[in-house]
Each structure stands twice: as structure tokens, then as C-alpha cells.
Amino acid sequence: MANPDDPLGPYERWMFGPGKTFDLPGLRLDASPSLSCLAEFAAPVPHPVPAVNRLLDADGIAMRPRLPTLWDGGATQFVPLLLCPETPVAMAQHDPGRLASILDHLQGGGARHLRLNFPVRAETIDPTFPLAQPAMGPASGVDPARPLVVMAVIDHGIAFAHQALGGRLDYCWSQSAPADGSGAVLFGREFTREGIAALRAVHGDEDAIYRATGLLGGPNLPPMPLARAHSHGAHVLGTAAGDDPNLRVVAVDLPSTALWDTSGFGTDMFLLAGLHYIFDRADRIAAAHGRVALPVVVNISIGWSGGPHDGSSAIEAALEELIRLRRTRAATALVLPSGNMFQDRLSAVIEDRHFETAPDGKAQASLRWFAPPHDMTSTFAEMWLAPGKDPSGTVFSLTTPFGEETAIGPQAGHRDVVSKGKVVGQISLDRYRGQRWRVTICLAPTEPKALPDGYGAAPAGEWRIAVRRNANLSGPVALRVQRDAPHEQGKTGGRQSFLLDPGYDPFDVQGALAQVDDPDPMVRRFDGLNGLATLAVSLNVGGHVASLGTAARYSSAGTATRGVDASAPTDRSPARSGIVSAGTRTGSFVALQGTSSAAPQVALALAQAFLTVPPPPGPVADNYLGCLAGRPGIVPVPPSGQDPGGQARLGQWRITGDNPG
């Protein structure tokens, strides 16, 4: 029976167990991939980190921890790292047991919480890192008399050679590019302003540049976003970059394979490493122009539906730690999308009033969970107890559509979920980061592409999630289903599961998707904010329909304590979805729908405000939201309760979209 502080979390136990057959093959890993890891230490550790600079041995597999670029602005508790095999080790050789023992070594070195993310192809690792890079001089066109601000975008499919960037992209880290041996970055490849100009001089056009740098993929390689006419990152960067020479751009291109799993499992290390890189390069830009610490706006148009939703997920805590550290030196903003899950029935809260008394005197509440057929990826859900509550006297159960029940609790641990004699899932109870108690449910695909021995397809249909507890216990239980969107380029074949609540009516009296919550049901529209966006230091951006000024029906909202701060158009009109921005090649355009396209509009507006009046360094209670007041094309939003025209959906400030500037 695992202890509540098992170094290997439930996601990793699943992903590196049966997930090696279900989900990881889609990543097209090569012969000896490296593992990515987000480590949390009990206290801030200085850099370089002696605690992890040791060769880890586990059953003959030697994994060497390697650190990516770390910003030198101070010691942090959270550290992103790679575990690189010293000798070739195929993905198939890593199993939960071995991984737990590797992570035990890290715990012995002082790490108190570890999170493994997606593996990285060996061809992207640069063994020569780190090597000092020649300093890049000042950029032309910069007005020395005006403020200088950095716009940083972390996304996937960054078209760094797009001509509309006009030489303002100073640094781009393409995390999935084959390494070039320059020692600039630990994995992937860096493209600087001067480097891009040199590539253009040699290769002539964008297609040739991306081809030569390995960003178009090739035979028997994973498909790459820049091979297509449109990508998420090109659209977001096209919106965020603006056109002011004093707005310098830094981009981080996440490996798109890490994003194929929409549960967000894959990305933590890559995001945190990306933020360190951004801060480091922002300092270099400052130095190149004779300045000290520049205001930075970071846009990360990424999110997921799971997590504790109180800022305590490891990646939120890690980002917040680094941002607060940098705010002591210069204004540092983080802009995130609120999410597109408002109608998706992915979140529910089981309140005390939902519990009924069972014949044995216990209190019981349950909810049905629909697992769709033809879902080729694993499916995940979480239950979270309130802060300060523990599972004593409580049992959590999962029942298959055939009526087979698996229970867990009150002791922590992992259990296999069995249906018709085959293992079809896993249910775990642990204390996340030693703080909140969490149940994690992992289901096999309902139509797996392959099956590990002993496993079967999870039956499609209605599952039942139930909580039984002593009658004297109280406190809400939050239920969060992870997003499971199909990734078309990756051909993952994922399909979305969702909650079924007879009290939840998807439609309003006119037959449209309703936008207000009734007080009774467990399933909620509100309180389904992006699970990355519940940290205290972000500005969360919702989306509205430009021609109406009211919330887009999918635009997620939060709670009173942590919700939407601002909004921007994400649809041009009810009939014309999406907003238009750049495709991957200069001169191409595409409409993209979703709060991912709203966040960069707010990020740009904030950057333009910073260029006018740069905020001073220091903590900011409103995360610079007040800087949007009075800016052109931005209007205040009335409070208005759950109204789609009100602050709960649109935040305090709304970019109308009328002002193209």
C-alpha cells in the first residue's frame, strides 16, 4: 500500500504503466528518450543545484539529471529538469517501479514533490549545453528615448520566421527542434533575431528555413505544426506581437507532442523552463540596450480542466514563485485564457445538501460520468476535498457501466479498476503536495489502439462516481473531468467524457445553450476556470462575441475568489466564429475561436500600457489589471451576477474590438 507521499503520482503511475501502450506511442519517441520532471524542494535551492547534480542509479538504469537555462534572479523551490539516460534506454524499459526508485533518489536529495511530464526525443538534446553565447547587439528601430517592454509568448507552432514580426523577435526557443550543438539551450534549438536573419540570407524563404532546421518533420518523424498552413502559436503570436519596435518579442515553442494529451499532464516542466528562459533572455535584451530590468508580459494560451483550482498545483506554484521573484525587479505580468469549457460539463461540486442518508446511516452522493465509445486515449478525472479536510470516514467509489464497483479510502493508495476480469483503470487516493487530499481516476481508452497484458478496454457508457462518508462529516467535494480533445495532427483519436446530472439542463427556455447555473445541480458552468489560471498572479481573459459584447457561450468562468479579469473578442459575430490572425506563412490568415485568442489581445493592450507608463517593480495586488483602465478600445464591464454581459464572464475590462489599434 503506497504511502500518501509516494514519489510517483497517479498520473505518472498510469502514463508510464499502461499508458506506455495506450498514449505514449503517439509521441513517436526515438530509441532513448529523456524524461522531463518538475521538482519541488522544501526550501529555495541555489543554482546550480548540487542536490540533483548526481548520477542517479536505479536497477542499473543510470539517469543523469540535467538543468535547462535557469534565470539567475534568485533561488527557487521549484526546478525544471530533464533526466537523461547515460546509456541508451528505450521508453519500454521505464516502468512505474523504476521511476519511483529514481525519484526516491531525488527525494533523498531534498525534493519533496516530483512531477514527471512527457518524455523528450533524444535528437532534441544538446550534449554541449551550456555554452556561453555571443551577446546580441541592440536591435535597429528601437527608440532609446522610450520605454522598452518584452512580450513573451509560450505556445506551440511558433512561426518565428514570419515576416510580420519585422525583426522584433529577439529570441525564440523551439523546444522540439533537433539540437544544433550550439549549446544555447538544453533541448531543442534557439533562434535569435540575428540567427533568423542569417537563415533567411542562406535559405531564402520561410519554407526553406523551417525545412532546414527540422521544423517540418520528415519521414517517420512526428508531424510538426509548422508543416501546416495554420497553427495555434502563429495565430497567438500574430495577435500578441503588435508592431512597435520598442516591444521586443521572446517566444517559446512547446513540443506539440506534449500538448496532444489535453489533460495537461505533459507540459509542466516545459512551461517552467520556458519562463526561466524568457526571464533570462529579457535580461539580455535589457543589457543589449543599456537598460536594467525590463517590464515583461507573458502570454500562455494553454490550459486544462483538472487541478485543485486554488493555485496549489505544482506548476501554478512554480510559475507564481518565479513571477513574484521577478516582480521585485520589474513589472512582470502573466496573461492566461479563462478556458473554453463553460458548456462542457467537466466540473461539479458535491455539496453537503447533495448527500442522502443510506440505509446504514452513512451519507452518500453520486454522479454519473459518461465515457464515450471510440475514445482512443486514456480518460482522467479528479475529486478534491476542501483544504483542511481529510478522507477519514470516507470511501470513494467508481462503478462501471456493468455495475462492478471499486472503492478506495479512507487510506491512501492505488487500486486497479477491474471490469469483466480485465484491468480497465486505476483509482488513487493521495495527499497532493502534502496539502489537499485528492482522488485520481484513470480510465483506459474505450477503443484502445493496443492493449497491455491483463488490460481491457474501459467499457463505454455511464460510470458512477460516488462518495460515502460518516453522517457527521461535511465539506464539499469538487469533481473535475480532464479535457480529452482529439488532436487532429497527432491522430490521437481522443474523445471527451463528461458528467451527467439530471438536474443540469444544457439549454435555456429559448433552446440555446444556457449561460446561467441553477443553484441545485452538482454540475456547474461556473467554477470551471482553466486549471492553470487559479494562481494569484495571473490576469485571466475570457472571450466575447464582438458584435454583441456578451460572453461567448464556451468562455469559462471562475468563482468569486478567482475568476475572469478581462475579456476580448473571440468570435466576430454569432455567424462568423473566431477572430482572424496570422497563419504559419507570411501572408496567410486564419480564424481561431477560443479564449486562447483573447488572452494575447489583452497581453498586447497591457504591453502597450507598459510602453506608455511602465509600472514600477514591486508586488501588485491587481496584477496590473488597473493598467487597462482608460486605454483605447477598452470599456468597463458591469458586475451583473451570472449575466453573460457581466464581470463573472468578462472580467472588469473588455476589449471591444472596435479599435483595431
Interacting residues toward another protein by CB under 8 A? 205, 207-208, 211, 217-221, 223, 227-230, 488-489
Q: Where are the beta strands (DSSP E) in 226-295?
A: 247-253
Q: Is 542 helix (H, G, I), strand (E, B) or coil?
A: strand
- For the CB of residue 177, give the shortest distance to another protein in the complex, in Å: 17
- For the CB of residue 202, give the shortest distance to another protein in the complex, in Å: 11
- For the CB of residue 69, give the shortest distance to another protein in the complex, in Å: 31
Q: Which is nearer to another protein, 208 or 471 (CB)?
A: 208
CA dihedral sign, ordered 310, 314, 320, 325: positive
Choose among 337, 317, 562: nearest CA to 432: 317
- For the CB of residue 211, give the shortest distance to another protein in the complex, in Å: 7
Q: Which is nearer to another protein, 59 or 205 (CB)?
A: 205
- For the CB of residue 577, give the shortest distance to another protein in the complex, in Å: 18
Strand order in the sheet with 111-120: 56-58, 61-66, 76-85, 34-45, 111-120
Contact assessment for residue 276 and residue 70, using Cβ atoms and an 8 Å cutoff: yes
Q: Which is nearer to another protein, 140 or 220 (CB)?
A: 220
Residues 6+ apart with CB under 8 A from 642: 515, 516, 517, 526, 648, 649
Q: Which is nearer to another protein, 228 or 284 (CB)?
A: 228
What residues are paired with 193 via a beta bridge? Answer: none
Indicate the pairing of strand 247-253 with strand 149-155: parallel
- For the CB of residue 225, give the shortest distance to another protein in the complex, in Å: 10
Q: Which is nearer to another protein, 157 or 409 (CB)?
A: 157
Contact assessment for residue 546 and residue 657, using Cβ atoms and an 8 Å cutoff: yes
Residues 6+ apart with CB under 8 A from 47: 67, 70, 72, 75
Q: Which is nearer to another protein, 28 or 324 (CB)?
A: 28
380 phi and psi, to 5 degrees?
-130, 145
- For the CB of residue 227, give the shortest distance to another protein in the complex, in Å: 6
Choose among 12, 66, 111, 105: nearest CA to 433: 111
DSSP string over 367-392: EEEEEPTT--S-EEEEEEEPTT---T
- For the CB of residue 203, give the shortest distance to another protein in the complex, in Å: 8
Q: Which is nearer to another protein, 217 or 401 (CB)?
A: 217
Of the CA atoms within 13 Å of residue 481, those in its CB half-sphere come to: 30
Q: Which is nearer to another protein, 64 or 211 (CB)?
A: 211
- For the CB of residue 64, give the shortest distance to another protein in the complex, in Å: 33
Q: Which is nearer to another protein, 219 or 421 (CB)?
A: 219
